[in-house]
Amino acid sequence: MIYQLGPTMGIARYINRLLQPIYYRVASLTTFFKETDAVHAMDIYTQKGLLLPTTLFATLHIHDLCTTVSHEEMIQALKRFLDEYYSPEQLTRGLSIDTIVKLVQIILENQLLVFQNKVYRQIKGSAIGSPLTILLMNIYLFYWQTDLVKRLVGKNEIFGRCFNEVFLTWNGSENEFRSLLHTTVNGKRSPIKITTSMGHRVNYIDVHISQINGNLQTGVNHDTDTEPRCLPYVSDHPRRMHSTLFRAALIRAVLCCSNIIDFNNERRDIEVTFNTNGYTWDYINEHVNEFFREFNVRELKYQMHEHKYEKLRRLVFKYDLQQMDMKMKQRKLQQDKEVWYISSSLKGKALTDIRSSYETIWKHYIDDSIESRRINIEIITQPKYPPNTK
């Protein structure tokens, strides 16, 4: 895709950085950043006494999201969002609404690709690799889901969407729910196509959620299509940072698993997986001990105390919320920063390492002045253009 490497990419990054914090602030109550947010929402739902033996869970999978919505519909949703929630006066470097819309139109109209030595232009949706695509699709879906959200929230039900994956609760019959879907989303003149799964047990991304007689049970949902002994994929963790992946996998296990038996089974599976992939048992034991020390529950490594595990879950959920809050604040701060993009030919672990260590290098060579603090460095992959396009 030439678009991903072309001159409009810088504009896309800028618009995304400008508007993304605003979107997340506006849509925070209906946004899941990862699958474990659904588990946290279910825990709160259960504590409020809303989970009944008759409660149903549903997941909605939205198909081909990046290639079905017309540019006109995307622009209409963006204009509406900007009119309702965007104020350029609140930002040091804020652009006018008209300027933002025109820039996005330029980006969408110049999405080019090469196939069999011919150049094509994408006339629906947006390039999957663009930093702006997820934001534009989220804004479109924010309005697409409005009627359904209002009906569910009015009944104290859960509605959360992680890009194209929706999780919700329902206290009623399945026929009543499908009728609600038809009147709120399916009946609209929209290109969106969804697949619905419903019952007392559902899989939502990488977590399974079930209830028996009003008792909630959650755990990690393992993809059977994936090689059983591949290193775990954790949705909010960088793929190449293996040094912290073990800890991230344990944190996900705690966030997902509602009881200590399931957690211990998941922990053992993580340990065996890492050992199968070449990590020594000394390395594994050291990181397990370090994890339990960090959250002050060392005895859980050897003894199965359910109340201690409940304490661990509370601490890990609190930690997870703090990390997300920190990310949101960082994104807000970046709105007014000047961004320097540095192209690098590095790949894989080498690229990940330099991205994580550039701040130390920057502070070593550049004075810590007010001007330098307003600059943010992003190291990006050096473009590799397809043949016959230079």
Evaluate if residue 196 carries a pLDDT over 50: yes
Query: Which token pair is 138?
Result: 């989220």
Strands 159-162 and 215-220: unpaired
State residue 352's pLDDT score. 72
Residue 375, Cα to own-chain centre: how many angstroms?
A: 26
Evaluate if residue 23 carries a pLDDT over 90: yes
Evaluate if residue 117 carries a pLDDT over 70: yes
Cα–Cα distance for residue pair 39/231, rounded to 1 Å: 23
Higher pLDDT, 287 or 375: 287
Please measure the distance between the N-terminal and C-terminal CA atoms of the chain and give it in whole angstroms: 13
Q: What is the 3-state secondary structure (H, E, C) of 45-70?
A: HHHCCCCCCCCEEEEEEECCHHHHCE
CA atoms within 13 A on the CB side of 167: 25
Helix (H, G, I), strand (E, B) or coil at 135: helix
State residue 382's pLDDT score. 61
Instruction: State the alpha helices, DSSP H only, in the chain.
Output: 9-26, 36-47, 65-68, 71-85, 97-109, 133-144, 146-154, 174-181, 245-256, 260-276, 281-294, 306-334, 348-365, 370-373
pLDDT tens-digit profile of 216-275? Answer: 999 999 876 665 677 777 777 766 666 789 999 999 999 999 999 999 999 999 999 999
Phi/psi at 275 (nearest 5 deg)?
-65, -40
* Mean pLDDT along residues 61-81: 95
CA atoms within 13 A on the CB side of 43: 17
